[in-house]
Structure 1
Amino acid sequence: MKKIVITGAGNGIGKATAKACVEAGYYVIAADKDKAGLRDLQSKIAVHQLETHVADFSRPSVYKEFISRLYGVYNHRALHGLINNAGIYHGKSVNEYSDREIDEIWKVNLKSLVYLSRDFAQQELNAPHTRNIINITSVAGEVGSMDALYGATKAGVIGLTKANAWNFAPRIRVNAVSPALIRNTSIHDRIPEHRRKEYERQEVLKDPIEPEGVADVIMFLLSDQSRHLTGKVIAVDNGAYPR
């Protein structure tokens, strides 16, 4: 059974992806600081298909050791994929950020991905079959955001994706998914109302995007159907931002 690591798996896109992976026959290693969210996920998935780890990816001691501990402490011999989904969004001006919040969003949204991706690649670079890293960025990283720190970190995720596609080739494919307005996530209600309305106005497809819709794209990138893709950013935005 192929094993997939998903950060931020306690809610929203991460939880929907965990369920989709299990339905596709994967074993899921779910990590989040949200204990209640992980418990709810555990209640819906058989124990032989899921393990959970309470992990705060704002802490260097966590993101610098997480992958190595999966191999060395939890005895996983091989991991097929890493989905870097954990993220923070405050929905406020850079002028309102505290020093602590600036440090936290930098670590969770970008710096932790550097370490998790590098450590995963070092473990799997000589794997006999292709491995996958999928980073969750945001349309905010492509077109900007009123939350400058969120937009800046998500732009960094795009740059990291493209660079690591080169760094880790040919054995490991690295791609990103770039959602726009996704309903039923921890982020959705923090988006200022005028920004939500602007996102909705620009959508040319009117079926509201749910976490499961993003999970569908992630599953495509995990599959062999996307075997010729690396270094790509796939928008899930109902056509709101044509490139």
Structure 2
Amino acid sequence: MKKIVITGAANGIGKATAIACAEAGYYVIAADKDTFGLRDLQQRIPVHQVESHVADFSKPEVYQSFIGNLYAHHKALHGLINNAGLYHGKSVYDYSDAEIEEIWAVNLKSLVYLSKDFAWHEQSAKHTRSIINITSVAGEVGSMDALYGATKAGVIGLTKANAWNFAPRVRVNAVSPALIRNTSIHDRIPEHRRKEYERQELIKDPIEPEGVADVVMFLLSDHSRHLTGKVIAVDNGAYPR
């Protein structure tokens, strides 16, 4: 059974992806700081297909050791989905120094360590491995939350660079969602911004976390075996590139 690591797995896109992975026959290693969310996830996946880890990826002692600790118990991992992220939805003027450090760590810095540690362990793998980073349209077109937009832009840059760094054994791609309903981020977006996002959507079928999970599953599969260094938008056509 192929093993997939998912950060931020307790809610939203991460949770939908974890359930989709289990349904596809993967073994899910779910990580999040939300203990109650992880418990709910475990009830939705067969016990033999899931393990959970309470982990706060804002802390260096966590993201610098997390992947290495997994390899003490797992011989090989097939995929890493870097989904954990923070969004405050406020002006850069309102950020405290502590909040700046936290969002930098969770949204970008932790991905550096998790990705390089995963790739290092799998660089000699017989079959191709996959890293999938969850970025945001905010990283491509900007955001009223400057720190969120800046970190998500960094994720796009990291994705492209690591596609070079980790080739040929590890593919690295990113998914770039726009307005995704039923997520904690959606509820924090100011109403006037949500209405503007909705106005720009060419397809009027609201995007749910499961819709993003579908794209993640494609990138995990052999159907995307020729793709690396790519950023795939899930935005209902709102932002033509």
Same fold (TM over 0.5): yes
Q: Name the TM-score, length of structure 2 as normaliser.
A: 1.00
1:44 CA displacement: 1.0
Q: Name the TM-score, length of structure 1 as normaliser.
A: 0.99
1:219 CA displacement: 0.2
Structure 1: gaps of 5 or more residues = none
1:21 CA displacement: 0.2
State the AA in 1 paired with 2:168. Answer: P
2:175 match: 177
1:202 CA displacement: 0.2
2:92 match: 94
1:199 CA displacement: 0.4
Q: How many aligned residue pairs are there?
A: 241
Work out which of the residue numbers 61, 74, 77 in structure 2 matches 1:76: 74
Query: Where do 1:1-243 residues align within 5 Å?
Result: 1-72=1-72, 75-243=73-241
Q: Distance in 2 between matches of 1:184 and 1:69?
A: 32
Structure 2: gaps of 5 or more residues = none
Moved over 3 A (4+): none
Q: Deviations over 1:48-92 (max 9, x none)?
A: 0000000000000000000000012xx100000000000000000
Q: Distance in 2 between matches of 1:38 and 1:188?
A: 20
1:46 CA displacement: 1.1
Identity, in percent, stands at 85
CA RMSD in angstroms comes to: 0.3
State the AA in 1 paired with 2:43. Answer: S
State the AA in 2 paired with 1:8. Answer: G
Q: Distance in 1 between matches of 2:123 and 2:92?
A: 38
State the AA in 2 paired with 1:56. Answer: D
Give the match's secondary structure for 2:74.
coil
Q: Deviations over 1:116-138 (max 9, x none)?
A: 00000000010000000000000
Q: Distance in 2 between matches of 1:128 and 1:139?
A: 34
1:186 CA displacement: 1.1
Q: Deviations over 1:113-171 (max 9, x none)?
A: 00000000000010000000000000000000000000000000000000000000001
Q: Distance in 2 between matches of 1:45 and 1:240?
A: 34
